[in-house]
């Protein structure tokens, strides 16, 4: 196959450019923390590093309680269970599968709401239509770190007597109307997976101002133990390890620097793709704090020289491993596509956006020169679209 720019045979990048290549922070400082951890011989279960991490995250976000956990999926499960959600819970269909699975895992039905194509977040006009006597809550997702309309969702939740929480997996260090994400709803859940700009290898955190909920989740993440020999809830093992907290603390020291690089990369892509027909770079509100961790393109196949999937193929052939997050939508993944076979009828915008989105590599390991080359690949492929199509067809 040759989908490379004409005249070249090798991929433009000898090593793959990944979406989600982890940031590393100050390696020496991280190793110092790990060395201290070895000296203390305290590796997990509420060690000093986890305590410091929870305190600093809570302060950073401006909430009373931060409960560090081993990943955001378990974090969502714990928050959902502690909040007493059951029956049906409304979530967007356009999200990572974990949002839906955290409910289904507990035999709660995720009811998929369509999205607003401008924001990629839940369409408020659709939310109310989905409320039934079985509905107990709403989980908004701040897609790409761009906040949901939290005020309007809170108003609906209050009026309809529903619990409201947020999957803030993408939104650490982002704000809404000047207030940090993390302080909205009953609780919010961050993901600190290695692919996030700020991470703890694997990890996450539940943040809340609710004392009772925080205490309950704190016990639930440790099997429900209250003291050495007493279990008072059904619990699980959701604990964050010390080595993970060491990574988080190290990256927290560098969070502004990482965001500055993400922003620089974002601007470089914007410049590089300026005027490219049929392609829109998803924007961040400059009045808010943003982490700029996702470079999201929307490719309009009717106007762009190549459609989204063709562009992905071209980029992959050049070792640029662009992703189709979150295609094809949760409702088209199992078990949901079998359980709710007609869900797509109510999700036209989810389907449309899922067919258009293409996410490009960014982060500390990507340079402006890399970005210029990625944009050049896209432009060159567009200029030679027929050749590219033939090459792709012949694979």
List contacts with ligand T4K (CB under 6 A).
18-22, 71-73, 95-96, 98-99, 141, 167, 169-170, 191, 193-195, 204, 321, 325
Q: Which region, left, alpha or beta, applies to residue 216 given φ > 0 means left and ψ of -120 to 50 means alpha?
A: alpha
Name the β-bridge partners of 355.
none
CB of 302 vs ligand T4K, minimal distance in Å:
27
Of 21 and 263, the one with the shorter C-beta distance to ligand T4K is: 21
Of 113 and 321, the one with the shorter C-beta distance to ligand T4K is: 321
CB of 71 vs ligand T4K, minimal distance in Å:
4
Of 254 and 321, the one with the shorter C-beta distance to ligand T4K is: 321
Of 54 and 167, the one with the shorter C-beta distance to ligand T4K is: 167
Of 304 and 318, the one with the shorter C-beta distance to ligand T4K is: 318
Helix axes 368-383, 308-317, angle to 10 degrees: 120
CB of 159 vs ligand T4K, minimal distance in Å:
26
CB of 361 vs ligand T4K, minimal distance in Å:
9
Answer yes or no: are the C-beta atoms of 186 and 207 closer than 8 Å. no
Q: Which region, left, alpha or beta, applies to residue 185 given φ > 0 means left and ψ of -120 to 50 means alpha?
A: left
CB of 196 vs ligand T4K, minimal distance in Å:
7
CB of 95 vs ligand T4K, minimal distance in Å:
5
Of 99 and 241, the one with the shorter C-beta distance to ligand T4K is: 99
CB of 102 vs ligand T4K, minimal distance in Å:
8
CB of 107 vs ligand T4K, minimal distance in Å:
19
Helix axes 255-273, 242-253, angle to 10 degrees: 60
Of 191 and 291, the one with the shorter C-beta distance to ligand T4K is: 191
What separation in angstroms does the CA of 252 have from each of 59, 60, 156, 178, 365?
12, 9, 35, 20, 18
Answer yes or no: are the C-beta atoms of 200 and 216 closer than 8 Å. no
Torsion of CA 164, 170, 173, 176, to 10 degrees: -50
Question: Position of tokens 């052939």?
Answer: 317
Answer yes or no: are the C-beta atoms of 322 and 316 closer than 8 Å. yes
Of 197 and 278, the one with the shorter C-beta distance to ligand T4K is: 197
| 3-class secondary structure per residue, 348-383 | HHHHHHHCCEEEECCCCCCCHHHHHHHHHHHHHHHH
Of 99 and 109, the one with the shorter C-beta distance to ligand T4K is: 99
């Amino acid at each position: 196959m040759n989908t490379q720019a004409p005249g070249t045979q090798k991929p433009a990048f000898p090593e793959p450019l990944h979406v989600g290549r982890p940031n590393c922070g100050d390696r020496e400082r991280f190793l110092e923390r790990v060395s201290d951890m070895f000296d203390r011989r305290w590796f997990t279960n509420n060690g000093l590093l986890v305590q410091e991490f929870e305190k600093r995250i809570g302060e950073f976000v401006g909430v009373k309680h931060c409960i560090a956990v081993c990943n955001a999926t378990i974090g969502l499960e714990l928050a959902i269970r502690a909040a007493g959600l059951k029956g049906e819970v409304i979530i967007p269909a356009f999200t990572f599968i974990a949002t839906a699975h955290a409910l289904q895992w507990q035999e709660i039905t995720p009811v998929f709401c369509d999205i607003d194509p401008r924001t990629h977040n839940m369409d408020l006009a659709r939310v109310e239509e989905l409320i039934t006597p079985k509905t107990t809550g709403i989980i908004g997702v701040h897609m790409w770190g761009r906040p949901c309309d939290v005020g309007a969702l809170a108003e609906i939740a209050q009026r309809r007597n529903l619990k409201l929480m947020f999957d803030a997996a993408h939104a650490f260090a982002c704000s809404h109307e000047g207030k940090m994400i993390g302080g909205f709803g009953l609780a919010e859940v961050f993901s600190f997976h290695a692919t996030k700009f700020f991470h703890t290898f694997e990890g996450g955190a539940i943040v809340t101002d609710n004392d009772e909920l925080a205490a309950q989740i704190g016990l639930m993440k440790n099997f429900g133990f209250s003291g050495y020999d007493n279990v008072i809830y059904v619990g699980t093992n959701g604990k964050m390890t010390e080595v993970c907290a060491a990574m988080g603390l190290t990256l927290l020291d560098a969070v502004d620097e990482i965001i500055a690089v993400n922003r620089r990369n974002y601007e470089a892509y914007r410049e590089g793709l300026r005027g490219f027909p049929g392609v829109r770079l998803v924007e961040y509100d400059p009045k808010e704090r943003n982490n700029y961790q996702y470079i999201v393109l929307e490719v309009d196949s009717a106007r762009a020289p190549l459609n989204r999937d063709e562009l992905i193929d071209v980029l992959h052939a050049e070792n640029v491993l662009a992703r189709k997050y979150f295609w094809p939508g949760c409702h088209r993944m199992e078990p949901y596509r079998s359980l709710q076979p007609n869900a797509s009828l109510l999700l036209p915008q989810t389907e449309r956006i899922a067919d258009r989105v293409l996410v490009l590599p960014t982060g500390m390991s990507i340079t402006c020169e890399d970005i210029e080359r990625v944009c050049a690949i896209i432009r060159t492929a567009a200029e030679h679209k027929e050749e590219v199509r033939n090459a792709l067809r012949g694979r």
